[in-house]
Amino acid sequence: MEKNKKIILGIIIAIIVVVGLISVISIISEDKTPHVSMGGKTYYVGDKLVYQDLDNKSMVEADVIAIEGKYLWSKIPENNKTVYWDTEKEQGWTINNTDT
């Protein structure tokens, strides 16, 4: 009876150790690079974002320059404009940059 208790206790301790190790490994290997998902794609700073401009129906390519929470900022190289995105609504607003 005493031997069975030790075996059961050993199995329980082994299970706890394995679960603990798996938890620690998953926390360590978690991607901490800022990223956000929009339109089924995941974006990181430096990625290219291609979208359709609703004003003139043309396709626009922009560089992702910042990510904070659910928000993303992209810069259009051709006209130096910045687009501010709410990734949950999948909506962007153009910000006219001015040189001072």
Q: pLDDT tens for residues 45-66?
A: 999 999 888 777 889 899 999 9
Among residues 56, 35, 70, which one has the least CA distance to residue 78? 56
The three-class DSSP label of residue 5 is helix
Which residues pair with residue 81 across a beta bridge?
Answer: 76
pTM of this structure: 0.61
Q: pLDDT tens for residues 21-38?
A: 998 888 887 666 788 989
Domain-wise residue ranges, the chain: 1-30, 35-95
